[in-house]
Amino acid sequence: MLKTKAGYNSKIIIRKAITLAANNMEDLVSLCKRRGFVFRSNELYGGMQGLYDYGPLGVELKNNLKAAWWSSMVYERDDVEGLDAAILSKPSVLKFSGHEDTFTDPLTDCRSCKSRWRADNLSDNKCPSCGSDDLTEPRPFNLMFKTNIGPIDDGQSFAYLRPETAQQIFINFKNVLDSTSRSVPFGIAQIGKAFRNEVNPRNFIFRLREFEQMELEFFVAPGSDEKWHKYWVEKRLAWWVKQGVSNKNISLYDVPKNELSHYSKKTTDLMYEFPHGLEELEGVANRTDFDLGSHTKNPKDFKISSSVLDNNESTSKLGVLDNKTGERFIPYVIEPSAGLDRGVLALLNEAYKKESLDNNKERIVLSLAPHLAPIKAAIIPLKKNNEELVELAQQLKTKLQGLNHGRVLLENTGNIGKNYRRHDEIGTPICITVDFDTLENETVTIRDRDTMGQKVVGLEEVEGVFAETIKQA
């Protein structure tokens, strides 16, 4: 039975005001650097634009978000398989996918200060650096990175770093189909790195040159594609809300026809109110039969709606048999594609809270959903130099860690107030204090991150309370 704690830390702190979400990007950048979520990559040598490293807490948050996505997409469904494909792509893959010709941004140079910009991001056609309007005419700039293959750099033997994870899914379509005996509709899910040589990486981890994607390619019969597109838009919106993204900060945007990608019949973007403005968090595209058709040998052998390249170098026919009609067709593809780094940024922004307390102090709280929190619980001995308390705390930490719900941390610093504030700020759902009552009565004090409320429970109850806390979503 849970009981209210009375004793060494029984003073009630009343919260006077709560400010939800970060006021600006600087708040999040400061928190991430200070607490070890995200660091500027290569900072020791001045850093590199568009590259960031995830620190001790950031890698935990990122992995927890990936695990939640994978569980939702693969484990909880009976119609999706997983894949982890190579990052290096043969040039012909990206030739016939259309990337060599169309994967470009409009690049312009400022003649005054020599800076370079994406022309479509300029306001009033002026240089953001110096304000000059003396700009060059926009020209296409291909975003793909090349790397040499083999011992001789002759310019002929090269590969691309994949600009998206999708193409490796498409070229493995037949492998997965043959090895799993799947039938349409079914999907292939992948989480992995992608690389884009962005002209202007910006807004912290929102737009990067090296990033991670969470993508599902869901293969459906022609004619059922619009139904499945609507299904996945609703499914993905509900999933983000479950992760902690507020409905009021996310909206749906149907991309106009004149702005659609070359492969898309319809695309709906899930737009999120980031600190820098309303931007895409995830896109759900109806890619029709363009992709599998583009990678198919003799695509005209099939009934196909897309205009794809002839004479491609593929050795496979990526069609399936319609058991009802006996005809072979190339499936349509519905693609929910989310940026993992953008997801991390959105969740940090949603969880960030600043509270004014009645003692004229302030605390920052990261109210992450427990299943996403980097540290699931902190075990704190009241006095760090008391061997009995520390030993009991270590035993409890080992027991809870063994439940495999995520990382449990032993905090043996002796300053319980600072420990509470630190774990509020990094999003730890509960702190468990081992004190002298633990030695006498076998009880511990559990403190809730969001309410700061404290409860006393018996040692035999801790595992159940901990498991119940982590299940909240």
Whether 303 shows a pLDDT value over 80: the answer reads no
Average pLDDT, rounded, for the chain: 90
Q: What's the rounded mean pLDDT across residues 445-458? A: 95
Query: What pLDDT is attached to residue 179?
Result: 95
Distances (CA, A) of 332 to 307, 359, 374, 427, 468: 14, 61, 38, 42, 42
The CATH number, out of the four listed (3.40.50.970, 3.30.1370.60, 3.30.930.10, 3.40.50.11260), of the domain defined by the range 39-103+143-347: 3.30.930.10
Q: What is the pLDDT of residue 140?
A: 83
pLDDT at 33: 96
Confidence of residue 308 (pLDDT cuts 50, 70, 90): low
Q: What is the pLDDT of residue 357?
A: 82
DSSP per position, 324-372: TT--EEPPEEEEEEEEHHHHHHHHHHHHEEEEEETTS-EEEEE---TTT
Phi-psi region for residue 435, left (φ > 0), alpha (ψ -120 to 50) or beta? beta
Where do you find CATH 3.30.930.10 in the chain?
39-103+143-347
Are the C-beta atoms of 395 and 364 separated by less than 8 Å?
no
What pLDDT is recorded for position 304?
Answer: 73
Instruction: Tell whether the model's pLDDT for residue 404 goes beyond 90.
Output: yes
pLDDT at 263: 86
Instruction: Tell me the average pLDDT across 354-364.
Output: 85
What the block records as the tokens of 58 is 């950031």
SS3 254: strand
The b/e string for 424-441 (b: 16+ C-beta within 10 A; e otherwise) is bbbbbbbbbbbbebbeee
**Residue of 162 and 323 predicted with greater confidence:** 162
This prediction has a pTM of 0.89
pLDDT at 18: 58
Determine the pLDDT at residue 311: 61
Q: For residue 456, give the nearest of 428, 471, 436 by alpha carbon.
A: 436
Instruction: Taking the CA atoms of 168, 169, 172 and 175 in sequence, report the sign of the dihedral they define.
Output: positive
> Using 50, 70 and 90 to split pLDDT, how confident is the model at 83?
very high
- Which pLDDT belongs to residue 19? 57
Judge whether residue 3 has pLDDT over 80.
no
CATH number for region 357-471: 3.40.50.800
Contacts of 249 (CB under 8 A, 6+ apart): 21, 272, 273, 350
Query: What DSSP line would sit under 105-136, residue for residue?
Result: EEEEEBTTT--EEEGGG-STT--TTT----BP
Tokens encoding 395: 């035993």
User: What local confidence, expressed as pLDDT, does residue 10 receive?
Assistant: 38
Query: In the chain, where does the domain assigned CATH 3.40.50.800 lie?
Result: 357-471
| Mean pLDDT (whole number) for 273-301 | 90
| Residue 194 three-state SS | strand
| Region 142-162 average pLDDT | 87
Mean pLDDT of 22-51: 93
Q: What pLDDT is attached to residue 155?
A: 73
List strand residue ranges (DSSP E) for 241-351, in order: 250-254, 266-274, 277-286, 320-321, 328-329, 332-339
- pLDDT at res. 316: 78
The answer to whether the CB of 348 falls within 8 A of the CB of 342 is: no
Residues 6+ apart with CB under 8 A from 311: none
Least confidently predicted of 66-75, 272-281, 322-331, 368-377:
322-331
Q: Tell me, what's the pLDDT at 9?
A: 40
Check pLDDT > 80 for residue 473: no
Which pLDDT band, with edges at 50, 70 and 90, does 7 fall under?
Answer: very low
Task: Give the integer Cα–Cα distance in Å for 462 and 469.
Answer: 11
- On the 0-12 / 13-18 / 19+ scale of CB atoms within 10 A, 19 is middle
Question: Which pLDDT belongs to residue 309?
Answer: 57
> Cα–Cα distance between 122 and 106 in angstroms, integer?
11
Confidence of residue 24 (pLDDT cuts 50, 70, 90): confident
Task: For residue 201, give both structure tokens.
Answer: 């990486």
pLDDT tens across 93-112, in order?
A: 988 888 888 777 788 999 99
Lowest mean pLDDT among 17-31, 374-388, 392-406, 424-438: 17-31
Q: pLDDT value at position 4? A: 40
| Per-range mean pLDDT, top range of 140-154, 297-311, 315-329, 406-420 | 406-420
DSSP 137: P
Q: Is residue 8 pLDDT above 70, yes or no? A: no
- In sequence order, what are the residues at sequence separation of 6 or more whose Cβ sits closer than 8 angstroms to the Cβ of residue 465? 430, 446, 457
Question: Mean per-residue pLDDT for 72-90?
Answer: 97
